[in-house]
Chain A
Amino acid sequence: MIISRNWLSQYIDLPDDINELIQTLTFSGIEVESVKEIPALPETVVTAKILSSEKIPGTEHLQLCQVDFGKETLQVVCGAPNCHTNMITVLAKVGTILPTLQIEANRIHGVESEGMLCSEKELGLSENHTGIIELPQDTHIGISVNEIYELPDIILELEITPNRPDLLGYIGIARDLSASLDRPLKLPAITKIGGENVPTIKLILELNDSEKCPRYTARIMDQIRVKESPLWLKNALIKSGFRPINNIVDVTNYVMLETGQPLHAFDYHKLKPIHPEDPYPAIIVRRAKPQEEFIALDGNKYYLDEEDLVIADGQKPSALAGIIGGRDTAVNNETTTIILESANFAPSTIRKTSLKYKISTDSSYHFERHLSPAYLEEVSNRAIELILKVAGGIVCNELYDAYPKPQKPLYLSIRPSRFEELIGYKLDIQLIKKYLIALGFQFIGLGPWQKDAIYEESLPKLLYQEQDKTSDKDLFDNPQMALYFLVPAYRIDITREADIIEELARLDGFDKIPQKKTIHPIMDWHAHYIKRKIEDYFRQVGFYEMINPSFIDPTKLEYFIEDKTEFDKKIIRIRNPQSSNQSAMRTNMLPQLLDNLLFNLNHSERNLKLMEMGKLYWKDSGKHYENLHLTAIMTGFNALDHWKAKNNAIDIYDVKGVIEGLLDQLGIPIDKMKNVHYPWLVEADNLAYFCNNQLCAYVGRLKAKTAEKFGIDITTLKQDIWILEVEVNTLIKLTRNHKTKFSPLPKFPSVIRDISFLINLSIPYAEIVNSIKQVEPYLIKEVNIFDEYRGKGIPNGWHSISLHIILQDCKKTLTEERVEQVIDSVRKMLENTWQIKMR
């Protein structure tokens, strides 16, 4: 809904600060979608009269106008199609600065122009740019337009949630604000309107479907003059996004904006009676007949069915109920007698019909959201009052009112104790009353709570009448004690205690809801996820998890130390061990895993991948340390027997693959690899991985001599035993600040090129890849080896290498020439650096 601050302020005193108003609306649940300020226009923009206008020869539609703005007459060139003599319009004098342009004296087609005649758009009033503004003839000349347009003003676009049809009008919004701002609501005084008995002008009203139309009222007015609306009315509509049409239609729209209730006016004399001989026309609220024709206001023709509700005269539909009026009964400038419809329609029927014919109007939008039928007479009176003001005429007869089942009053009881349970704090009983009364609820009294809503004409006697002198505190010691309220009929959305509690919480402010618990984040989620990921990774690549005690035989640890005296200082001994082979805390899991290996080898398991993730313990200068570590062993074949795949004995590349796959999964880049020198690992058949100079993992082949200490005889086993050590804590540390973020996908395709060459065996692959990438770091995204061959046909000491080089430019499509150029540079670099031979 689009509202003007100035219009809204007719019903309530608003805060001067617009931000305060926006804040109040937002926190009472009415979202402000946009705010548009219409600043005051400069004093040099004034009303003026076009004394004469004549076409400038040689131009399409330029006119030279003599414009009088009271003090003097200016010569202005105007290109608007509606510009004509005697027109009262708006003149921006030379020197005026408007929102989008500055007015300067200039020559147009050789003619001097001393100002500009303005459209609404040029003044920033609306988007209307079809012509210059035409003001009524009785407008004073030479006055500031600010006076006429009530400037400055602020236009707010509000999002009204579907549960609040009562907020679809200025009064509803003002009422809600009056509750949240604690300021009185100023409603327009509506006089009770009677009617003059005009025997010749009467109406037959029939309501045939009270399900789809719970109430229909009509009022006849005669001797009215349909014409252009006065400025105040037109301006009000324009600011709320409506286009003025004529005084009658404008009043119906104005009252809909004010009250939320759509109205419709028919031309009385265009409605037919049921029988040609009947003296009065008819209004029949009924279902459409199958294939019944209806021509809407906009000229579109529809063929209706029996599901549609129409407002018909004696012969044919004159409106699609609650959605759109008919062309043939519309009010126009010749109309002298009107029927003003103020009716209520069921949301479901409006929604279905509007969807079926794809007609969505302001009226259908309002009715779809379920309006109350209780206020139709008041709304009708308000409209008639305004019509009398702007179109004259007389009111014929009393209100025609078909209201078979009046909306029953609804009483609800609400427990303050329940508010506290549901919202989390105590709300003072006086505040409860104040908020609800401001919203239009009527306080009835106190009594024991009742779960169900009470739909009765009046309430049965309450246990307690209002006792203002009794302290509420004492009374409400009983949690079942409740306050009874009569719900205003326009609050169709409120049917339960919880609905009222929501209103109270909203008006008192969600910021008052206390934070009850501050649960401290204690858990290290990152470590939790990484540990699980490592466990899952090893399981998925075929490892079995071992769980061994933390105690160990210290003599077995000695096979895995480099310095005996250091070792003695490091080891933590148990004062009261169960046996000497469980007398120390483990500083290494290898002895236990080798025991596990032997145990399983003895059970005819030949291909084994074992791992344990657990703590290692040691001491240093009297302090104890515990560190999470992972040790794994691999031996035998890499995969199970399979008829299709060649089954290879595990070699160092398989073992490397486990670690490199893990580091890749964790997103840890390897920035250094080097050999380690441990007495239990075969020299040069091992490798350690580093990132940021921290050891992440190392792998290596166990020496036969060490295996022997654990009863494993390599000569009979005839399998390599591979060891993998992973520094779990380091991996957790290195990944702690990793954040997965989406990056925009490359718009340009990547290109793959293969190159194959012979190169000396002494040159490490890693070095080759690095130097290739450095040839064009921006373009070369990846270098992958897909074949390696040595032996037959290859010179001794050399091997053949085949690479995929993947190139991509993030900013443009790579041309064939550019790719060739890059590959050529790579080739030259390789030839110059390592004397490779291309294949």
Chain B
Amino acid sequence: MINNQLKNIAEQAKIDLKECRNHNDILNIRAKYLGKKSLVNSLYSQLRDLPEEERPSFGKKVNELRNELEKIIEEKEKEIKLQIVNAYDSVQAQDLTLPGVYILPGSLHPLTIIRRRMENIFISLGFQIVEGPDIEDEYHNFDALNTPEDHPSRNLADTFYLDNGYLLRTQTSTVQVRTMESFPPPIYIISPGRCYRNDKPDPSHSPVFHQVEGLVVDKGISMADLKDTLQFFAQAMFGPEVKSRIRPHFFPFTEPSAEMDISCVSCQGKGCRICKNSGWLELAGAGMVDPNVLDMMHIDNQIYSGYAFGIGIERIAMLKYNIPDMRILYENDVRMLRQFSRELI
């Protein structure tokens, strides 16, 4: 009778275990057969009611049953764990040609990309970035930069004027003037920003455009330093194979003045449509800061000398990215911008 009871419990446990599918089921079975209120525990409580002489053999049998149950439950637990692990370590058939999920970024404007690259290049040379206002007075835009009263660039046809003698700066050199007013040499700065000239929009002109201007004032600065800097810039921007040259030019605020050319990035100097068969592309205006400009800033032009340069951001962007018409840059066509989403900055 008791033997049967024990046998039934064992049989039932085996049936229950067969139904086991997961870890939770195992926990339930363990509770049912071996836990505090389990069948096996209730057998132990029967022990008290048995006659003295039957107790040892019954106790022994219950212990055997408990050990047996422990064993088969543990085995099942191991089996289930193995199943879970095996399932985890394998995968159902899937189509791996379906695309993965990722976030698509937008794009910065190529003018911003170029501006930031130029800033990085000049920062690597020890220049600091300084910005200033777009709306300027005639003093900072012309007088302080040695531009005579009757100079043609002061014309309405060239410069946008606002009320009360204010105007929109025609170059970011105005920032240089403001820096020299506030800080003594040595000065190593670049000033990126918007400039305005009364040009009709065409493939190479825009009334609003962007410039990076540089200014260095220190002891012993020569035109050779200017050449080194511009050459470094050209190679950092366009690659080590690019050659550069400077040739004489005129700007009111530099003496001597020069324009800087680089070897054509499209034909490598052999001559093509872009460089009008000259093999050279104009890149920057530059020169040694005019002694009068230093004088106006109360910098001793016998002790200090300096150079300045101005580089058009649109020009660089067009050359670097092969953009044929400046107006494309101002259309803000997302299809154009999308082409720059992978550009490194």
Q: A: which residues have CB within 8 A of B?
A: 517-524, 528, 532, 535, 538-551, 572-578, 582, 585, 596, 599-600, 603, 605, 608-610, 615, 617, 622, 624, 626, 639-640, 642-645
A522 in contact with B189 (CB, 8 Å): yes
The 20 listed contacts between A and B (C-beta, < 8 Å) are A522-B128, A539-B106, A544-B337, A544-B338, A545-B112, A546-B109, A546-B332, A547-B109, A547-B111, A548-B330, A575-B162, A575-B163, A585-B135, A603-B334, A603-B335, A615-B134, A624-B133, A624-B166, A643-B99, A645-B101
A544 and B106 within 8 A (CB): yes
Interface code B3-27, partner A: CB below 8 Å = 1, 0 otherwise? Answer: 0000000000000000000000000
CA distance A575 to B329 in the complex (A): 26
CA distance A610 to B156 in the complex (A): 35
- Cβ-closest chain B residue relative to A609: B106
Complex A-B, nearest 3 residue pairs according to Cβ-Cβ distance, in ascending order: A523-B128, A545-B109, A546-B332
B314 → A minimal CB distance (Å): 10
- Please measure, in the bound complex, the distance between the C-alpha atom of A542 and the C-alpha atom of B128, giving whole angstroms: 31
The reply to whether the CB of B116 lies closer than 8 angstroms to some CB of chain A is yes
Residues of B within 8 A of A538 (CB): 106
- Nearest chain A CB to B211's CB is how many angstroms away? 14
Pick from A519, A542, A551, A644: contact of B186, CB below 8 A.
Answer: A519
| Chain A residues in 8 Å Cβ range of B194 | 550, 615
Q: Is the CB of A577 within 8 A of B186?
A: no
In angstroms, Cα B194 to Cα A548, docked, is 11
Tell me if B253 counts as interface (CB < 8 A to partner A). Answer: no
Q: How large is the interface on B (under 10, 10 to 19, 20 to 34, 35 or more residues)?
A: 35 or more
A622 to B168, CA, bound (A): 16
Task: Identify the closest chain A residue to B158 (Cβ).
Answer: A576
* Interface pair B129/A542, CB less than 8 Å apart: no
**A522 and B179 within 8 A (CB):** yes
State whether A522 and B334 are in contact (beta carbons under 8 Å apart), knowing that A551-B207, A575-B161 are contacts in the complex: no
In whole angstroms, how far apart are the Cα atoms of A544 and B112 in the complex?
A: 12
- Chain A residues with Cβ under 8 A from B98's Cβ? 643-644
Partner of A605, one of B131, B156, B200, B335: B335
Contact of B134 with A545 in the complex, beta carbons under 8 Å: no
Q: Contacts A539-B106, A643-B99; is A603 near B134 (CB within 8 Å)?
A: no
Q: Within 8 Å CB of A603, what residues of B?
A: 333-335
Tell yes or no: B164 within 8 A of A by CB. yes
Within 8 A of A (CB), among B145-162: 156, 160-162
Q: Which of A539, A549, A550, A575 contacts B107 (CB 8 A)?
A: A539
Establish whether residues B112 and A547, one from each chain, have CB atoms under 8 Å apart when the complex forms: yes
B207 touches A549 (CB 8 A): yes
The residues in B between 287 and 328 inclusive whose CB is less than 8 angstroms from any CB of A are none
The yes or no answer to B29 lying at the interface (CB within 8 A) is no
Q: B162, A578: Cβ atoms under 8 Å?
A: no
Q: What chain B residues lie within 8 Å of A609 (beta carbons)?
A: 106
Which residues of B lie under 8 Å from residue A577 when comparing CB positions? 160
- From B104, B133, B332, B333, give the contact of A542 (CB < 8 A): B104
Q: B268 near A: Cβ within 8 Å?
A: no
Known: A522-B189, A523-B128. A550 touches B208 (CB 8 A): yes
Q: How far is the CA of A622 from the CA of B163 in the complex (A)?
A: 9
Q: Nearest Cβ distance between residue A716 and chain B, in whole angstroms?
A: 20
Closest CB in chain B relative to A82 CB, distance in Å:
67
**Interface readout for B180-206 with A: 1 if CB under 8 Å, 0 if not?**
001110111100001010101000001
Residues of B near A596 (CB, < 8 A) are 332
Chain A nearest CB from B190 CB (Å) reads: 10
B residues 95-118 touching A (CB-CB < 8 Å)? 98-99, 101, 103-109, 111-112, 116
Q: How far is the CB of B122 from chain A (nearest CB, A)?
A: 11
Q: How far is it, in angstroms, between the C-alpha of A572 and the C-alpha of B134 when the chains are bound?
A: 13
Contact of A520 among B134, B184, B208 (CB under 8 A): B184
Shortest CB–CB separation between residue A532 and chain B, in angstroms?
A: 7
Q: Which residues of A contact B259 (CB under 8 A)?
A: none
A542 touches B134 (CB 8 A): no
Question: Could you say which residues of chain B place their CB within 8 Å of the CB of A643?
Answer: 98-99
Q: How far is the CB of A543 from chain B (nearest CB, A)?
A: 4
The reply on B43 being an interface residue by CB < 8 A is no
Given A575-B163, A578-B200, CB of A523 within 8 Å of CB of B130: yes
Cα distance A543–B333 when bound, in Å? 13
Contacts of B133 in A (CB 8 A): 624, 626
Q: Does B135 contact A547, Cβ atoms closer than 8 Å?
A: no
Q: Is B331 an interface residue (CB 8 A)?
A: yes
Instruction: Decide yes or no: A545 and B107 within 8 Å by CB, A532-B116, A603-B335 being known contacts.
Output: yes
Cβ of B208 and Cβ of A600 under 8 Å apart?
A: no
B344 CB → nearest A CB, Å: 13
Given contacts A517-B218, A545-B112, contact A572 B135 (CB under 8 A): yes
Residues of B within 8 A of A572 (CB): 135, 162-163
- A519 CA / B128 CA spacing, docked (Å): 10
